[in-house]
Structure 1
C-alpha cells in the first residue's frame, strides 16, 4: 500500500485536532500546520476535504478554527484516508470485486480482495483517540511488534 502525502498529512492533522479536542476553543489551522510540519496551503485543502466528509467542522473569525465533528473515538484512520484519497484499495481505479480476470489470472481478484480486507482490519480499528492517547489496540501493537513487520523487502 502506498500512503500518499495527503493521507499522511490528513491523519496527522486529525490526530492534532483529537489531541486538542478537550479544549473549549477550536484549533487554529496555523497551529496544526506548525505543530505537524504541514504546509499551510496543503493543510487548507486537506481540512476542506475533511470538512466536506463531515469529519471536521470549522468556524471563521478571530476565535475561529477547527474541531472534530465527531468524538475522536468514532473516527478511524480509514475514515480520514477515505475522505482525502477515496477507497482504501482499488485496482485500476475500480473496486476489486468489479475487476474481471480470466484464465490463469482469475484467482488474482481474491488476492486483491484479501489485501483490502487486511487494510480495513488495521485502518478501521485504529481511531484518532487511540493515536492521540498513544494507546493503540493490542492487536495492532502485536502486529507492529513482529520483527518481520520492520523488514523492508
Structure 2
C-alpha cells in the first residue's frame, strides 16, 4: 500500500501552511484529497509531487488563476497535454525575458558596487588621521548628477 501523509506532514515537507493546502483544495488546485475513515486528509506521493510543482509555478510568478487553468488542463489527461505544453512554453518564455531583465538590473548594481569600492579605496589612500578626504571621488554622490542612471538614482 502506498504511503499516505497527513496534512501536517505535507505542510512540513513542502513548507506550505496547512491553511494554504486547504485553500488549494477548496479552489480546485488540488483534486479532492482522499480521506481517512476519521475524515482527515491523506495525501499520496502523487499529491506531493503535484503540490511541489504548484510551488514551482507560484515561485516563478504564475498567478493562482493561471495555475487553476493549468490544473484544469491536467485534469483532462492526455487530451490536455498539447495545452499544458503550450502553457508551460509560454511561461518559460516569460521567465527567460524576466531573467534577462534581472541580469540588466544586476549589471547596474554591480557597476555601483564597483564604483563605491573605488571611492572607498581612494578615500583610504588620500586620508591621514584627522583630515577630511580630498579625493576627487569624495563628492561624486552629491555633485555628479549627470552620471546618474535614470530610475536608479545617483546613490
What TM-score, normalized by structure 1, do the two folds share?
0.31
The structure with the greater share of residues assigned to helix is 2
Higher-Rg member (1/2): 2
Q: Which has the higher contact order (CA 8 A, sep 6+)?
A: 1
